[in-house]
Structure 1
Amino acid sequence: MKNQEIERPSGRVLHRPLRIAAWVTFVVAAQSAFAQSAAGVDAAAPDATANAAAGSAPAASGGEQALPVVKVTAAQQSDSPLNLNTPVSAGALGTRSQLDTPFSTTIVTGEELADRQANKLGDVFAGDASVTDNSNGYSAWATYISIRGLPIDWQNGFRINGNPFISYGITMPYENLERVELLKGLGGFMYGFVQPGGVVNYVTKKPGNEPVTSVSVGYRMDSVFSQHADLSRRFGPDGMFGARINYTHEAGKTYNAGDINRNSLAVALDGQLTRDLDVYFDAIYQQSRSSGQTPAIYTGSYTGTSLPATISGGTNLLGGTDQHLNTNLQLYTAGVNYQITPDWSFKTSASYSKSTRDRNESTLTLLNQAGDYTDNRWNGDEGHQDIYWQGVFEGKVKTGIFTHDLALGASWQHQTNDYSAVSHSFTLGDGNLFQPNPWRYYSGAGLDKYRASEITQKALFARDTIQLTSRWSLLAGLRYTNYDQQTYNVDGSLASSYGQNGVLTPTVALMYKLEPNTTLYASYVESLEQGAIVADIYANGGQLLRPLRSRQYEVGVKSEHGRWSATAALFRIERGAAYANGQNVYVQDGNSIYEGLEAGGSVRLGRSWQVAGNLMLLDTWYAKGQQYNGQRVAGAPQFVAAGRVTYDVPQLPGLQVGADAKFTGSTKVRPAGDLETGGYMIVNVGANYMTRIGGHDVTLRAAIDNITNRRYWMFQYSDYIAPGDPRMVSLNAKIDF
C-alpha cells in the first residue's frame, strides 16, 4: 500500500489508521445511539406539517428555517439537517446525492447564507470543522480557506454552476446563490488539474415553477447598507420559458474604516423547447470597489519564535484609504440538455469568464516581537480569461446481472493570465503594528498589462458505476488529459513552458448500502495541480515549477434519517511539498502527508431544539525532503471542532434563536515549524423571525459574529498571517410579494 512508501519520522506520535478507524466507529455509533434515543423521547410528537396546520410553533424540517448548521443543509427540502439526499455536482462524476457520493462533501444553502449573512468564504463554511478560515473580508484574501489543512486553488478550485473562473479577489454575491457546494480533497478525475484541497461550486438561483418577487435590505457594521431584489417568472405556452433576475447593491463604511461599493447582477434564462430538449443561458456581472483593506503580515524573515501580541482585525492602524482593491467579474454560460432515449442523455455547455482587478496593497514584513515591520507596497492591474466547453453522454446498460451507469465525455479549457508590464513593488518604510501606519501611496488604474501565461487542457473522461448487488456498487473513472502551460516575458517572448500528453488521473470507489439511508464507502483518487509561477518575493521569482501529483485514500460512512444524520470519514492525502527553503528559494521538495478523521452529526431534540456538532483530527508532516522532515505542515491545525444549537421559541411562532462556536487549534505558520498562531474559539449568535405583514411573508434576521470580540492571529497562507475579524453586527429584512 502507498502508506508504506512514505517514511514516518522517528519519535512521532501519529494517529494510526486502526486507531482512527476505531474512533470513526465509536463516533458514528455514539451519534446513532444518542440520536435514536433522542428521537425515541419525542416519538409521539406531531411532525412539522401537523404543527403548521395547527398554527403551533413550527418545527422546521431540514434547512427550511434553520440557521446555519454544522455541515450540510438544503433549503426547501423534506430532509434532515445534513441533507444527504440533496444532489451535489462533482464534475465528471455527474450530479448525485451526497449519500451516494463516495467522497466528503458539504452543502450550504441560500437560506443558511442569508441567516448567517455571510461576508466572505470563511463565513460560508463556519460550521464545517474541516474548513479553516484564512479569509479577510473586502480584500484579495476574501476567498482564502484551507480544507483538511490544504489551501484551495484560486486558479482551478472555484466553479460557478460547474464552470471555471478565476476567483482571486472576487467575493461572490451570496444573495444571488441557491447554494454553495464543497468537494473536499482531490478533484483530479472530476475537474482536471487542481490543487488537492477541494473544489467550491457556486450554484446560482434558477427559474422555478412558482413565481418569486422579493426585496431585502441589510446593514453591517460599521455602516454598510445593502439592497437585494429577486424576481422569477415562467411565461409562454405552458410556462415553456423561464427567467430569474437577482440584483444586489452594497455600499458604505466597513469595520476597519474602509469603503465598499459593489453592484451584482445575475440572470438565468431557460427554455423547455420540447419534452426532451432544454436550453439555458446564465450571466453574472459584478463590479466591486473597496479601499482601506487590512494588510497581510509576512513572517518569512521574522527571527522570533512567538508572534507579537494580538491586535483587532477592526483596527485602522495598519493601512489607509490609499490601499484599494477594484474587481470586475463576468461569466456567460449557454447549455443544452437532450434526452436521447429514456436511458440515454446528452449534455453540453460552454462558458466564458473574465475577471480583472487593480489593487494597491501593502504587505507588512514583520521584523520582531515588538511589532516592528517594513511596509512593502504592491500596485498593479491583473486580468484573467477562462473559456470552457464540456460535452457528456450519460446512460444505463446491462451486462448479464450487472447494471452500468455510464458517463462518457470530453472537455476543453483555455486560461490566460495578464499582469502589469512594469513591476510596481517597492518599500515605503518602517512602522509598528501598535501605532498608526505613517505611509501613504495613492494610485489609479489603467496600467499596461502583458500576456504572462496561457494554460490549455484537453480531456477525455469515462465513468462507470456498476451495481454489483442490491447493496454493493463499484465506481471507476479515468480522465485522460493533454496539458500545456506557457509563460511569457514582458516583450512577448516565451520564457518557459511545460507540456505533457496522456496525463491519467483515475478514481475508484467501493460502496455498500448498510440500509437504504446509510452508505459505507472506500475511495481512491489521484490529481495533478498545475505548476506554480514563483512569486517575486522569493529568490527564484518568475520560475515555472512542474506540476505536482497527489493521491487520496478515504473511507467513510453517511447516514441520513428523519430526525438525525451522521457522517464520518478517515482520509490520507499525499502531496508533493512546495515551500521556501532557508535560502528563500521556493522549491518542490519531498512530500507533505495529511492523515485525519472528520465526523459530524445533527439531531432534533423534541419539537424545538436542534443540536449539531462537527470535528476534525488532523496529523500532518513533511517527508522525504531535504528540509523540515517530521515537521507539521504549515497551515494545518491538529484539531478543529464546531457546534451549533438552535431553538424554535414556542411562545412566539416563527422565531428561532441560535448560537454556534468553532475552535481552531494552533496552526504552524511556516514550514520550519518554529512559529504558530495559537488556538482560538469564535462564538456567534443569531436569530430569525418569520411573520406576515400586510398579507406578505416577512423575514427579519440578526447576527452577531465573534460576540466576545476575541482577538487572534489567523493563518492566511504559508508565511502569512492577519488579525482575525472583530465583533460584527448584521441585520436584514426581507419581504416576499
Structure 2
Amino acid sequence: MNHSQPVRRTERSLARPLQIAVWLAFAAAAQCAFAQTDSTDSGAASASASTSTATSRNGTEQSLPAVKVSASSADDSPLHLTTPVSNGALGTRSQLDTPFSTTVVTGEDLANRQANKLGDVFAGDASVTDNSNAYSAWATYITIRGLPIDWQNGFKIDGNPFISYGITMPYENLERVELLKGAGGFMYGFAQPGGVVNYVTKKPGKDPVTSIDIGYRMDGVISEHADLSRRFGPDGMFGARINYTHEAGKTYNAGDINRNSVALALDGQLTRDLDVYFNAIYQTSRSSGQTPAIYISPSYAGTSLPATISGGSNLLNSAGQHLNTSLQLYTAGVKYQIAPDWTFNTSASYSKSARDRNESTLTLANQAGNYSDSRWNGDEGHQDIYWQGSFEGKVKTGPFTHQLVFGASVQRQTNDYNNAQTTAGGVLGSGNLYVQNPYVFYSGSGLEKYRASEINQKALFLSDTMQLTSRWSLLAGLRYTNYDQDTFAESGATTASYGKNGVITPTFALMYKLDALTTIYASYLESLEAGQIVSSSYANGGSVLNPLRSRQYEVGIKTERARWSANAALFRIERGASYANSQNVLMQDGNSIYEGVEAGGSVRLGRSWQVGGDIMLLDTWYAKGQSYNGKRVAGAPQFTAAARVSYDVPFVPGLQLGADAKYTGNTSVRPAGDLETGGYMLVNLGANYMTRIGGHDVTLRAAIDNLTNRRYWMFQYDSYIAPGDPRTVSLNAKIDF
C-alpha cells in the first residue's frame, strides 16, 4: 500500500462521521416528534410516584411525569434499557441514564438461548463478534467494536474482578450479564478499551424459588441444574439462595466435558438501614478433545486461508489434549443508608482461578492446510484480592442538584506460571487440516509453578452528575491511580518492572432528556491498559510492554417505550497499536483507530409478533506508525448485522417460536492486511413452551444453532483463526415447585 492511502482513508473517515451525525440528529428529531404522538405507550408503562420538574416560559416549574416500565412490559422491551446496571465508580444506574453504549442479557434470555459460551450470550448484539470456542481456553474470547476484551481486567462477577481465561461461567446461575462497551478506565481502572463484562449472580428475592431443570446438548452432554431460594427469620430478615449446575458427556467434536458449579448468596437486613451480604462461587471443569489453536505465521505462503472445515470435526484433535480449570470467588459487603439521600457501600473479594492444559497450536504453512503441530503443556494460576468503598448521594448548590459518587479501591493480582514442552520448540511433527492428526502426547498435572507477575493498583475516584435543568445534566468523573507491575523469571529474579503514580483517567458526558424515556448523550473517556507480557510464541517472549492509553468519543440516543425500544451510537476509539512485525517481534507502534456507528431496536407488532434488529458499521486503520499505516486493524469486521423474530402462537397458549440470524463481515486476520476470514451468516431457531403439569409450572425449551451447518473461519485473536461451531441441537426441561 502506498503512502497516499492513509490520507485518502483519513478523508473518508471525516466524511462518514458527519453523515452519521446528521443521521443521528434526524433520528433524535423523529423520535421527539413520534414520542409526542405515542400516547398509547402508557398502556404498558406505569407512571412513577416521583416526578421531575421543567421550567416553563414564564419561569415557573411544571411537572414532567417520570415513567417506570412495569414488569409486565419486560417482554415488550427486550433491550432492558430501564434495568439497573453496575458502572463501577459511577455507581448503579439504568442503561437509559448511562451515557455509554451498554447491553443487558437477562437470565431468561440466557435460558431461552441455551447459551454455551460467551459468544452465544451476545449473539443478538451486532457490536460483539464471536471469537470463542466452547470447552476450550478460548471460551470467553469476543471482540467489541473490533476490540478484544481484556481477559485479565475486563471481566467481573457482581462488580468484583477475576481472571476469566478458560473459564466458562455457569449461565444457569446468573441473573443477567451486563456489557459496558468501550473504554472503562474511569469506572474500573486499568483495562483494554474493548469493554467490560459483568456477570450478576442470582440473589435471594422476596419470593421463594424451587426449580430443577435437565438439559441435553449434542452430541451427548447432559446437564442438571437446581435453584433454591428462601427468606427466613423475623420479617424475612435473612435470605439464602443456592444454585448448582452439573454437566457431563461427549461434546460435538468427540471431546469430553465434566463440570460442577455451585453459587451461594446470603444476605441479612439487620436494620432498616444496614444490609450485609456474602456471595461465593466454586467451579471445577475437566474437558478433553478441544480444537487446537490455529496460528498464521509471518512466513505463511498464500494469499487466502485454506478451505474451511467444520468445528465439529475431530480431525485436529489428538490424544492427550485437555483443559482443566477451577474458579473460586468469595465476596463480603456492607450497605448502609446514612441518610435518605446518602449510602455507603464497601466490599472485599478474593478470587482464585487455575488452568491445567495440554494444548496444540497448529502453525499453518500454506493454503493447502499443511501445518506443524506444537504441543504446550502447563499449569497456570491467578489470584485477585480486591477492596472498594464508596459513598453515593445527592447535594444541592443553588439551583443545581449533584449526584455524587466518591471512594477508593485497592487491587492486588498475582499470576503463577509453569510450562513443559515435548521437545525443543515443542514441535511434534507436521500434518494437514484435512487428515487426522496422528500425534500423541500425554502429560501430567501438578507442575511446580512460580510467581510470574504481580500487579498492584490503588485508586481514588470521584464523579459528579450535575442536574442543570430537568432535561440537561452534566457528568464529570476522575480516577487517580497508583500502578505497579513486576514480572519475574523462574529463578525469582525480576525481569521487568513498570510503576507510575498519579495516573489520571477522566470521563465527561453531557446528557439531554427528550422525555422521561429518551436520553441523548455525548461522552468522552480515557483508559489505560496494563502492559502486555509477551508470550513465548514471539521472538521477544517474556518481555513486558508499556501500558497503552486509549481515548473514546461517543454520541448516542436511547429510548424505551412500552411496545418498542431503540438505541444508536456514533463512536471513535483511539488506542495505541501493538502487533508483531516481520521479524515476529511484538511491538508497540502508532495507533489503531476505530470509527463506527451502531444502532438497534425492537418492536412488538400486534399481540403475537416481536421483531428486532441490530447493525454496526465499522471503519478501522493503523495510523502514525512505522508499519501498516492505513491498513485495517486485525479482528475488526467492517459490517455486522443481527435480526430476530419471535411469534407467540395464539392457538397454543404458552408456545413461542423464534428465529435469529447474524451476519459477520470479512475480518482481517493480521495487521499486514493480506488475509481475511470472509463473511458468514448464522441462522438459529428456538421454541419455548410454558405449561402446567401436576400443579407445577413447566417450561420446555429447544434450540438449533447454525441451522444450515455453515462452515466458516472465525477470527480468534491476532493471527489466530478457528473453525466455527457446527449445527447443534439443545433441549431443556424445567419444573418449578
Taking structure 1 as the reference length, the TM-score comes to 0.93
Report the CA distance between 1:35 and its aligned residue.
10
Contact 2:285 2:326 in 1 (8 A): yes
- DSSP 3-state at the match of 1:459: strand
Q: Which residue of 2 aligns with 1:558?
A: 558
Task: Output the CA distance in 1 between the equivalents of 2:112 and 2:723.
Answer: 25
**Contact 2:45 2:73 (C-alpha < 8 Å) held by counterparts:** no
Partner residue, 1:142 = 139
Cα shift readout 1:528-552 (whole Å, capped 9, x = no counterpart):
0000011111111001110000000
Q: Does 1:215 align with 2:212?
A: yes
SS of match in other structure, 1:16:
helix
Measured in 1, the distance between the counterparts of 2:538 and 2:42 equals 64
CA deviation string 1:208-258 (max 9, x = no partner): 000000000000000000000000000001100000000000000000000
Looking at structure 1, the residues matched to 23 and 283 of structure 2 have their Cα atoms a distance apart, in angstroms, of: 46
Paired AA for residue 537 in structure 1: S
Which amino acid is the alignment partner of residue 584 of structure 1? Answer: N
The superposition leaves residues 303-343 of structure 1 with CA deviations (integer Å, 9 ceiling, x where unpaired) of 21101111000000001341100000000000000011112
Structure 1 pair 129–33 and aligned structure 2 pair: CA distance change class (3 A): farther
* Pair 1:104–1:400, CA change in 2 (3 A): same
- From 79, 87, 90, give the equivalent of 2:87: 90
In 2: Cα distance, 1:31 partner to 1:709 partner: 40
Residue matched to 1:581: 581
1:673 Cα deviation from its structure 2 partner: 0.2
CA distance in 2, matches of 1:339, 1:45: 33
Contact 1:701 1:732 in 2 (8 A): yes
Indicate the residue corresponding to 2:120 in structure 1.
123
> Which residue pairs with 1:166 in the alignment?
163
Contact 1:185–1:197 under 8 Å retained in 2: yes
Q: Does 1:9 align with 2:6?
A: yes
Q: Equivalences for 1:378-417 in 2 at 5 Å?
A: 378-417=376-415
2:428 corresponds to 1:428: yes
Counterpart position of 2:659: 659
Cα deviations by residue, 1:29-63 (Å, 9 ceiling, x for unpaired): 778999999x89xx6999799xxxxxxxxxxxxxx
Equivalence for 1:111: 108
| Deviation, structure 1 residue 146 | 0.1
Q: Which residue of 2 aligns with 1:325?
A: 323
C-alpha change, 1:343 and 1:48, in structure 2 (3 Å) is closer
Aligned twin of 1:335: 333
Change (3 A) 1:135 1:29: farther
The within-5 A match list for 1:403-482 is 403-420=401-418, 422=420, 426-482=426-482
For 1:112 and 1:27, the matched residues in 2 are separated by 28
Give how far 1:496 is off. Answer: 1.0
Letter in 2 for 1:335: G
SS at match of 1:498: strand
Task: Find the aligned partners of 1:595 and 1:44 in 2 and give their Cα distance.
Answer: 35
SS in 1 for 2:6: coil
2: CA distance, partners of 1:365 / 1:481: 40
1:17 partner letter = P
1:40-119 equivalent positions in 2, closer than 5 A: 77=74, 80-119=77-116
CA drift at 1:345 = 1.1
The within-5 A match list for 1:260-275 is: 260-275=257-272
Structure 1 398/30 Cα, relative in aligned 2: closer, same or farther at 3 Å?
closer
Which deviates more from structure 2 when the two are superposed, residues 403-412 or residues 295-304?
Answer: 295-304
Match of 2:247 among 245, 250, 268: 250
Equivalent pair of 1:240/1:272 in contact (CA under 8 Å): yes
Paired with 2:369 and 2:461, the residues of 1 have a C-alpha distance of 52
Distance (whole Å) between structure 1 residues aligned to residue 131 and residue 472 of structure 2: 40
The correspondence for 1:313, drawn from 311, 314, 335, is 311
| Alpha-carbon distance in structure 2 between the residues aligned to 1:625 and 1:159 | 33
Alignment of 1:698-737 (within 5 A): 698-737=698-737
1:693 partner amino acid: I
Task: Say if 2:525 and 2:552, in contact at 8 Å, map to a contact too.
Answer: yes
The whole-number CA distance in structure 2 between the counterparts of 1:11 and 1:392 is 48
Name 2:546's counterpart in structure 1.
546
Task: Call closer, same or farther: CA 1:32–1:609 in 2, change over 3 Å.
Answer: farther
Equivalent of residue 259 in structure 1, options 256, 261, 264: 256
Q: Which residue of 2 aligns with 1:681?
A: 681
Q: Secondary structure at the match of 2:20?
A: helix
Quick check: 2:73–2:562 contact (8 Å CA) kept in 1? no
Rounded Cα–Cα distance in structure 1 between residues aligned with 2:469 and 2:42:
37
Task: Structure 1: give runs of 5+ residues left out of the alignment.
Answer: 1-6, 50-71
Deviations 1:368-417 (A, max 9, x none): 11110000110000000000000001111111111111111000000000
| Contact 1:35–1:564 under 8 Å retained in 2 | no
- Report the number of matched residues: 706
For 1:112, what is the secondary structure of its paired residue? helix
Distance 1:33 1:369, change over 3 A: farther
Say if 2:644 is the partner of 1:644: yes
Change over 3 Å in CA distance of 1:389–1:241 after alignment to 2: same
State the alpha-carbon separation in 1 of the partners of residues 241 and 73 from structure 2: 18
Deviates more, 1:412-421 or 1:423-432: 423-432
2:229 corresponds to: 232
| Partner-residue secondary structure (3-state), 2:126 | coil
Q: Does 1:293 align with 2:290?
A: yes
- SS of residue paired to 1:506: strand
Aligned to 2:345: 347
CA offset at residue 22 of structure 1?
Answer: 2.5
- Looking at structure 2, the residues matched to 605 and 214 of structure 1 have their Cα atoms a distance apart, in angstroms, of 32
**What is the deviation of 1:279?**
0.2
Alpha-carbon distance in 1 for matches of 2:112, 2:171: 11
Rate the CA distance shift 1:449–1:125 in 2: closer, same or farther, 3 A: same
Q: Taking structure 1 as reference, are residues 26 and 723 closer, same or farther at Cα in structure 2, changes over 3 Å only?
A: farther
Mark the CA change 1:625 to 1:47 in structure 2 (over 3 Å): closer, same or farther.
closer
User: Which residue in 2 is equivalent to 1:617?
Assistant: 617
CA 1:657–1:73 in 2, change beyond 3 Å: closer, same or farther? farther
User: For residues 395 and 588 of structure 1, what CA distance do their matches in structure 2 show?
Assistant: 42
Alpha-carbon spacing, 1:381–1:36, altered in 2? closer, same or farther (3 Å): farther
Which residue is 2:61 aligned to?
Answer: none
Please give the secondary structure, in 2, of the residue aligned with 1:439: coil
Whichever residue aligns with residue 466 of structure 2, its letter is: I
Out of 353, 356, 359, which is 1:358 matched to? Answer: 356
Q: CA RMSD in A?
A: 2.1
Residues of 2 paired with 1:48 and 1:385: CA distance?
45
CA contact (8 A) 2:250 2:256 kept: yes
| Cα shift at 1:78 | 7.6
Q: Contact between 2:185 and 2:505, CA under 8 Å: does it hold in 1?
A: yes
* Aligned 8 A contact 2:44 2:70 in 1: no
Q: Is the 8 A contact 2:376 2:419 kept in 1?
A: no
Task: Kindly indicate whether the alpha-carbon contact (under 8 Å) linking 1:417 and 1:453 is maintained by their aligned counterparts in 2.
Answer: yes
Q: Paired residue for 1:282? A: 279
Q: Is the 8 A contact 1:344 1:394 kept in 2?
A: yes
Question: Would the aligned equivalents of 1:74 and 1:107 in 2 still touch at CA under 8 Å?
Answer: no
> In 2, Cα distance between the equivalents of 1:378 and 1:647?
48
Distance 1:225 1:76, change over 3 A: farther
**AA in 2 matched with 1:181:** E
Residues 459-481 of structure 1 show CA distances to partners (whole Å, capped at 9, x for unaligned) of 00001010000100000000000
Instruction: Look up the match of 1:522.
Output: 522
Once the 2 structures are TM-superposed, how far is the Cα of residue 16 of structure 1 from its aligned partner?
Answer: 2.4
Shift of 1:21: 1.3
Aligned equivalents of 2:223, 2:70: Cα separation in 1: 25
Task: Give the Å deviation of 1:349.
Answer: 0.1
Partners of 2:577 and 2:83 in 1: CA distance: 35
